[in-house]
Structure 1
Amino acid sequence: MPVLTRQWCGPLVMLAATAILSSTLPAGEVRMKSGFVLRGTPVEMAGLNPTTERQNNRGPIAQTPLWMVDDGVRRFFVGYRQVERPVDRGGQLLQYETFELEHVARSRDMTPASIGAFVSKTEFDEFGRRVVTLATERGPVHIHQGITRLRPDYVKVESTSHRWEYGLDTPTLPADVLGKMLDQASDVTNHRDRKARVVFFLQAEMYRQAREEVAAVRRDFPEDAAWADETDRRIVQFVALRAMNELQRRQDAGQHATAYQFAKSQFPIERVGPEAHDAAREIVAEYEQALSRRERILFLLGMLEVDASDELVPRLRAMRAAVRDELHYENLERLDPFLRAEDDETLSAEQKLALAYSGWLLGSANALVDLKEAVRLWDARFLVLEYLRTNDPSRRNTLHSDLKALEGVSIERIAALVDNLPLPLEAPPLDPGAISTIDVPTKVGETPIRYSIQLPPEYSPQHRYPLLIVMHAEGRTPNYEVAWWGGTADQPGWAQRRGYIVIAPHYAEEKQGKYDYNVAVHTQVLESLRDVRKRFRIDSDRVFLAGHGMGADACFDIGFSHPHVFAGVVPINGFSDRYANYYFENGPDLSWYVVNGERDRNALEENARELNHMMRHGVDVVYCEYKSRGYETYFEELERIFDWMGLHRRATFVREWEAEILRHADADMYWIAPHDLPDKLREPIIWDQPRRRIRAMQMEGKATVGNAVYIRHPGRGTTIWLAPELVDFDERVKVSVNGRVKFTGYLQPSIEALLDDLRVRGDREQLYWARLEY
């Protein structure tokens, strides 16, 4: 698919060379190794705060291990080792159109040092004024605010009653109110002011408003008609290219019907120009070709059955029905060898059918020409699905024996087959965009496990979806948190637009006011993840954990405790406390995007030690601090968070790792699962007990390129899971546990081990081929 870029962005923002009220600031950027870009003013930093600055500079040579990027509203802090060099410090100056608003200040009382959630707030009026109410120990405080400066990127908000100022992203203001503020700050009878307003809206990426301003210039200043026509033409073409990028994102999200209809109807050449028009026609042609290929495939399968042997026809009909039901735009390529063989006269009808039905199960690279062998693979598919669905151990033993008895069904083929399997558990009928609730089956006496879920538009089990697990704040509900990230069916949010499945475990009591560090919360999250993997098509390498308030506290705890599960963690308004104070070196391959307000309680001081250590040691961390703001949801950060998540994947099959644990529930780490752990790990920790020294227990795993496996853990026994990515099964393997050699020889991969792990975790992206017990 063609990918278009915003090639006219530079010329557009400089359209009005005579615009007035311009200001300048460095347009620098920091590009991280993940590809994530932070724009603003980059500054090298010695630490996150004075304490970490002293910790980072104990030697005689001054150190600046961090970068800070200030965009006016927020500061981003990232570690020097995660930054691509050279850093663009903003050698060229970017002009922004700026307008001023005046407000009369009253007495200027001090605002509280810590700013909690707003009790209430009015909307900004046409003069840029509003009133917010804060809850304080002395009761509610009413703070009068006014917008004093309008910029395309952010507006400056100052209190006329208190000492408090900060920035708000300009797109967070209603467009009609922003337009009225510009009316107050500019002279609508002055054509230079009117052109400046056009540039303002362009720089703010508010293109509908920019076109309306252009139309007003054309109407009120006929002498500028040529300028208006050329500007309008460029805006329309630029918007078309921007729409093409959004269309590409919809394709990536599996929303192909939307992409097809949009490309077919929204890009007439006379309106968008030849480049966008041709790209849209290419997309339409590719979709229509895929539809044609689908019909051709089904026709050929039916036609070739006529020439197959009679005893195979009933099986072939059932297999064709399964292919018909599962055939999708994204899996057509599995049948490429079959389509290429259509006119090959050297192949029989049965050989062509074998290419189709084996390629469907194993992928195009593994297609076979032996139809009986292909049929045996379909028998294997049936047995594997039954194995994954049953809870009866004796039934699984029988199914495993049947699998072993199938000729030509190796573990390599089972692993390839797993990648293309239908979902083992039936998913309830859910409407995309709606928020539903699923109860996870549990044994009698076990704690009930429930999660809320929202599917994106055009959900299909043939597309692999990233998963976002969200943890709600105190005073909120799981459904509220899902809607915050994903919107509703009527108003789709960022998760739906980007094609994420969102779930919210019901992890807290209804009136719970803070996170209690209960291991039952970990169980709620991990079991919800395992269940959703089995019912919906999840890309296990793109599972993210996020939350607000006490849910963000849970994110720190769960993320550090199970770093091998997630691609990234996004705590908003959270504290890294208790277990996180000991676990922060666990999972150096796990990525973090942490958001706090500068005046939200004592957030930076609470989090600085762990975040500073992680940044210094090369962990992929972005710390986003909103300047002079307190406890808020920070909805305006959502698009940037999804951009960040789109660049991250889980680190799979980590060959070498170390971890510390304080709880028995945290011992399953990467590819080992210790058992018979010390009783100490089940004892509750009294965190506020004075003079108590808390010591974590050490764990370590290492799989060397020389086929040696070294493990250290505090248990009396352990289960070890190994995969081809960790050891070479064709060579001798040495396994050492706690300093003692437990195995030397050739490991035999096991279909049973692979399926047992898949049945429990539902993780198709990380398959283990061997299980050892010591």
Structure 2
Amino acid sequence: MTVRLFPEFDSVSQLNSGRLLPSRFVYALILCLLGVNFSQLPIAQAGEVELEHGTIIRGAIVPILGLTENLAARLETSDAEVTLPPRKLVSYPIILVDDGMVRYFVPRRTTVRMNNDQDLSRYETFKLPQKVTGRNQMLKTVGSYIDVTDFDKFGRRTVTLNTSKGNLPLLQGVTEITPHHLKLTGLKQQWELGLRTTSIKEEVLDAMLNNAIDHLNPNERIAVARFYIQAGLYLPAGEAFDKIEADFPEYKDKIATYVAELRTLHSQQLLNELNQRRKAGQHRLAQNAIMKFPTNNVSQSILRQIRDVQDDYHKQQEQIDKARIRLGELEAEIKDAATRNLLQAYRREVMTQLNFETINRLGAFLNLESDDSLSAREKLALAYSGWIVGAANVVTDLNTALNLWTARAQVLEYLRTENEQLSDQMLGTLSKLEGISAAVVKQMIPLLPPILDAPVRNIADSFPVHVTDPNAEVPVSYSVLLPIEYDPHHTYPMIVALRPSTLDANSVLNWWGKFKNGPGQSQRRGYIVIAPEYLQKDQENYEDNVTAHYAVIESIRDARKRFNVDSDRVFLSGHGTGADAAFDIGMSHPGLFAGVMPIAGKTSAFNLHYWQNAKDLPFYIVGGELDRDTLEHNSLVINRMMRNGYDIIYAEYKGRGYESYYEEIHNLFNWMELHQRLKYPKELDEKILRPIDNRYYWVRTEGFPPQIMRPIAYTGTQRLRARPVSLKVSIKLGNVIYVSSGGKINTLWLNPELVDFDKRLEVRIDGQRKFNDFLRPDMESMLDDFKNRGDRQKLFDARLDFF
């Protein structure tokens, strides 16, 4: 028996009599009543859509007017809707791609290619006969799954739902099996839905397929084997071909082509897995995979790529071994005892931490260690400066290189202490060190060890972390799950996962990265996952409260100080209540995230104003057609974003309800791989309704009008009566910054990526010139901002405050 993940989701399932018209049929009917000529309507065609960021979605393509029939039918235009002139259809701003199981909605403006020539007939498909009765009842909404049995060989199973009238067992039957999905129908109720083929146990799938064919017919057996290839199930495919050859030896030549294709695809899959391991910093697993990689009947191209990876590891290991030997030999040539003692201490650190992740720091040294024109001191300077500031920023003066180590120690103490007097002393020491400047400290920060201790025990398990910020306004804690072979010298993307109110933090950590029998996707793919405790005790619904925002922001900042997080690739997600929070927190703080992934969630009243803040924040939204009124509820906000060409995907599972949608996890990770945070936008136009939503990218504003100084929690579809404060900032030619702000205090963090430090900078706030001078890099401002946010990828050289 299989139990659905997140079974505790609390929702209500209802059975209603009568027949619900499919939404696309209703849409067409409305257009007909409006007098639209159907010859002008777009026709669904099988194909694929490629989006600007690289995602490709395959299925039947239908350009549409709006996410729902209500939006599509409106005749009057607002900033969220479209104009539908009488008897004429002029634009379809949204593309619907229906793959048979999921409807994917994407903005037309984000598509770079649409191919309508996809041949779906080439996929092996198996029909299963089912006896359907009692079709006068239908499911309107689907809530929590109390129990789900496995499919029998006839493709039938029982799903027990939680309804307002108690537990309700419902019988389902598989009517069609494709390499991509299974089509299911209710055998006693109207309930059409789909499941991904790869979500079914292999033995259960095999039983259904074997029951659907004639085992004495070799062509039908071959069709099943080809089906497995098309589904990406290469091991079952190989087993199926072996059995066919044993039972029908005369078909050996016929299946040889299929077997060759299978070997190529399987070896490519293994190669992709190997490269993923390397990218995730899992070098031990990658090397083990090389040793076990099959070499018989594998294409020369793939074998050559394997040899290249193997050779690269051998070269890196040789570099590591050479560095260990040469640093000791060169150190012995130093006559000055004090200098040699320092070098011995520094060499111990390097030797302890030298591995495949850190060897590149010694790249300049290893390239020149045999150069006779350089002295031993100069070569050692290359090595020990490279270790602190990277191989691209090395120096050849040994005293300067040693100063870098002293400076790093001072910087770490500055970042770790809360004593202002000690902080001033450390800044004074830094300013007096020869060769140390704000620019050098900026080079140093990305390679610093963790600012805070990381309580790493058994990496395979999650563990709690309590934020230790002495300035914290309320206690904050989060749970963290680290990837396999976590190495503090490797930079990792991070997922911020917000739990549903009915479950604990481990539920979402396990969803992203942990199975009972081993690592899940985040651990395998090299992602850190944290689950902030953002809800207050016994809180059931997300209420747009400041405490939740604070908990999430502080958890992110704390995690960036304890672990090596790639701040350009932090993704926010949530299930249920957590998805509601993800909508709000993501749009309120877009500069924190590379993307937001709400799953089975609803937008809030704040999102009706804040959706414009997300113009540079990608969204991947997952929901179910029968999950309450989710699409209808979300449509106004999402429709606006799609019409304006935002980077957004809305995946709606047909016939599915309030679920965790683990089937979408591979698509989510593939989508994350294609996204990075927008770091330094030069044009900002943001809305502010709460004091905590006051920093956007490199600008912060404070001192707000009274209406947002006393925030009220809004829930459901209730609209906000308050008018948001607008923050508009732009950097124009001539090195001029224009700020229009509703706050009395404005702070700008600046760096050369934003403005030219070699030219005079002018800052005008609400029409008044507030600054007209040259900027100078300021070490204290840089370190204080990094100490506060822990963001290694976004550093600022100067700070300007305007009161």
Instruction: Confirm or deny a common fold (TM above 0.5).
Output: yes
Conserved in 2, the CA contact under 8 Å of 1:264 and 1:281?
A: no
Match of 1:752 among 772, 780, 784: 780
The yes-or-no answer on 1:342 pairing with 2:361 is no
Tell me the residue number matched to 2:14: none
Tell me the residue number matched to 2:508: 481
> For residues 512 and 126 of structure 1, do their structure 2 counterparts lie closer, same or farther at Cα, with a shift above 3 Å needed?
farther
> For residues 445 and 167 of structure 1, do their structure 2 counterparts lie closer, same or farther at Cα, with a shift above 3 Å needed?
closer
Tell me the residue number matched to 1:76: 104
- Per-residue CA deviation, residues 700-736 of structure 1 (Å, 9 max, x unaligned), is 2222242111122222212221111111111100111
Q: Give the deviation of 1:122 after TM superposition.
A: 1.7
Q: Give the deviation of 1:232 after TM superposition.
A: 2.8
Cα distance in 1, alignment partners of residues 733 and 58 from structure 2: 40
The yes-or-no answer on 1:52 pairing with 2:80 is no
Tell me the residue number matched to 1:124: 151
- Per-residue CA deviation, residues 281-311 of structure 1 (Å, 9 max, x unaligned), is 2212211221121111121111111222413
Tell me the residue number matched to 2:358: 331
Cα distance in 1, alignment partners of residues 492 and 401 from structure 2: 29
Q: Give the deviation of 1:238 after TM superposition.
A: 2.2
Alignment of 1:630-645 (within 5 A): 630-645=657-672
Q: Give the deviation of 1:26 after TM superposition.
A: 6.2
User: What count of residue pairs does the alignment treat as equivalent?
Assistant: 748
Tell me the residue number matched to 2:197: 170
Match of 1:542 among 545, 566, 569: 569
Cα distance in 1, alignment partners of residues 105 and 561 from structure 2: 38
Alignment of 1:312-323 (within 5 A): 312-323=339-350
The yes-or-no answer on 1:595 pairing with 2:614 is no
- Per-residue CA deviation, residues 7-49 of structure 1 (Å, 9 max, x unaligned), is xxxxxxxxxxxxxxxxxx9651111111111111222121111
Conserved in 2, the CA contact under 8 Å of 1:434 and 1:489?
A: no
Cα distance in 2, alignment partners of residues 696 and 721 from structure 1: 24
Conserved in 2, the CA contact under 8 Å of 1:155 and 1:167?
A: yes
The yes-or-no answer on 1:368 pairing with 2:387 is no
Cα distance in 2, alignment partners of residues 69 and 740 from structure 1: 50
Q: Give the deviation of 1:58 after TM superposition.
A: 1.7
Q: Give the deviation of 1:93 after TM superposition.
A: 4.7
Tell me the residue number matched to 1:532: 559
Cα distance in 1, alignment partners of residues 721 and 381 from structure 2: 66
Q: In structure 2, what residue type is equivalent to 1:538?
A: V
Match of 2:738 among 706, 710, 719: 710
Tell me the residue number matched to 1:576: 603
Unpaired stretches in structure 1, ≥5 consecutive residues: 1-24
Alignment of 1:541-690 (within 5 A): 541-685=568-712, 687=714
Cα distance in 1, alignment partners of residues 676 and 720 from structure 2: 39
The yes-or-no answer on 1:36 pairing with 2:70 is no
Tell me whether 92-101 or 286-295 shows the greater mean CA deviation: 92-101
Tell me whether 304-313 or 54-63 shows the greater mean CA deviation: 54-63
SS in 2 for 1:589: coil
Q: Give the deviation of 1:231 after TM superposition.
A: 3.1
> For residues 173 and 225 of structure 1, do their structure 2 counterparts lie closer, same or farther at Cα, with a shift above 3 Å needed?
same
Q: Give the deviation of 1:547 after TM superposition.
A: 0.6
Tell me whether 394-403 or 632-641 shows the greater mean CA deviation: 394-403
Alignment of 1:168-207 (within 5 A): 168-207=195-234
Q: In structure 2, what residue type is equivalent to 1:281?
A: R
Q: Give the deviation of 1:647 after TM superposition.
A: 0.4
Conserved in 2, the CA contact under 8 Å of 1:45 and 1:68?
A: yes
Q: In structure 2, what residue type is equivalent to 1:342?
A: E
Tell me the residue number matched to 2:760: 732
Cα distance in 1, alignment partners of residues 515 and 236 from structure 2: 26
Q: Give the deviation of 1:156 after TM superposition.
A: 1.1
Q: Give the deviation of 1:690 after TM superposition.
A: 8.8
Cα distance in 1, alignment partners of residues 308 and 720 from structure 2: 68
> For residues 152 and 370 of structure 1, do their structure 2 counterparts lie closer, same or farther at Cα, with a shift above 3 Å needed?
same
Cα distance in 1, alignment partners of residues 560 and 339 from structure 2: 34
Tell me whether 132-141 or 447-456 shows the greater mean CA deviation: 132-141
- Per-residue CA deviation, residues 252-292 of structure 1 (Å, 9 max, x unaligned), is 1111111011112223x325343333322221221122112
Tell me whether 129-138 or 353-362 shows the greater mean CA deviation: 129-138
Match of 1:113 among 123, 129, 140: 140
The yes-or-no answer on 1:280 pairing with 2:306 is yes
Cα distance in 2, alignment partners of residues 336 and 27 from structure 1: 51
Conserved in 2, the CA contact under 8 Å of 1:433 and 1:489?
A: no
Q: In structure 1, what residue type is equivalent to 2:611?
A: F
Q: In structure 1, what residue type is equivalent to 2:250?
A: E
Conserved in 1, the CA contact under 8 Å of 2:761 and 2:771?
A: yes
Alignment of 1:413-428 (within 5 A): 413-428=440-455
Q: Give the deviation of 1:446 after TM superposition.
A: 4.1
Tell me whether 189-198 or 697-706 shows the greater mean CA deviation: 697-706
Q: Give the deviation of 1:682 after TM superposition.
A: 2.7
Match of 1:497 among 521, 524, 544: 524
- Per-residue CA deviation, residues 34-77 of structure 1 (Å, 9 max, x unaligned), is 11111112221211112332354326462111111111100111
SS in 2 for 1:162: coil
Tell me the residue number matched to 2:328: 302
Tell me whether 491-500 or 437-446 shows the greater mean CA deviation: 437-446
Q: In structure 2, what residue type is equivalent to 1:408?
A: G
Tell me whether 724-733 or 692-701 shows the greater mean CA deviation: 692-701
Conserved in 2, the CA contact under 8 Å of 1:731 and 1:746?
A: yes
> For residues 293 and 187 of structure 1, do their structure 2 counterparts lie closer, same or farther at Cα, with a shift above 3 Å needed?
same
Alignment of 1:378-393 (within 5 A): 378-393=405-420
- Per-residue CA deviation, residues 215-240 of structure 1 (Å, 9 max, x unaligned), is 12111112112234443343223211
The yes-or-no answer on 1:696 pairing with 2:721 is no
- Per-residue CA deviation, residues 159-195 of structure 1 (Å, 9 max, x unaligned), is 1110111111111111111111112211001111111
Conserved in 1, the CA contact under 8 Å of 2:110 and 2:646?
A: yes
- What is the percentage of aligned positions where both structures have the same residue? 39
SS in 1 for 2:105: strand
Cα distance in 2, alignment partners of residues 692 and 276 from structure 1: 59
Match of 2:490 among 433, 449, 463: 463
Cα distance in 2, alignment partners of residues 489 and 462 from structure 1: 28
Q: Give the deviation of 1:445 after TM superposition.
A: 8.6
Cα distance in 1, alignment partners of residues 136 and 358 from structure 2: 64
Cα distance in 1, alignment partners of residues 182 and 750 from structure 2: 55
Q: Give the deviation of 1:248 after TM superposition.
A: 0.7
The yes-or-no answer on 1:352 pairing with 2:379 is yes
Conserved in 1, the CA contact under 8 Å of 2:543 and 2:713?
A: no
Cα distance in 2, alignment partners of residues 646 and 75 from structure 1: 22
TM-score w.r.t. the length of structure 1 is 0.94
Match of 2:799 among 747, 765, 771: 771
Q: Give the deviation of 1:139 after TM superposition.
A: 3.3
Unpaired stretches in structure 2, ≥5 consecutive residues: 1-43
Tell me whether 58-67 or 210-219 shows the greater mean CA deviation: 58-67
> For residues 67 and 735 of structure 1, do their structure 2 counterparts lie closer, same or farther at Cα, with a shift above 3 Å needed?
same
Conserved in 1, the CA contact under 8 Å of 2:544 and 2:714?
A: no
SS in 2 for 1:666: coil
SS in 1 for 2:112: coil
Conserved in 2, the CA contact under 8 Å of 1:215 and 1:228?
A: no
Tell me the residue number matched to 1:5: none
Alignment of 1:1-20 (within 5 A): none
Q: Give the deviation of 1:687 after TM superposition.
A: 4.5
Conserved in 2, the CA contact under 8 Å of 1:26 and 1:92?
A: no
- Per-residue CA deviation, residues 337-367 of structure 1 (Å, 9 max, x unaligned), is 2112122111111011111111222222222
Cα distance in 1, alignment partners of residues 533 and 719 from structure 2: 36
Tell me the residue number matched to 1:412: 439
Tell me whether 107-116 or 533-542 shows the greater mean CA deviation: 107-116
Conserved in 1, the CA contact under 8 Å of 2:68 and 2:632?
A: yes
Cα distance in 1, alignment partners of residues 761 and 719 from structure 2: 46
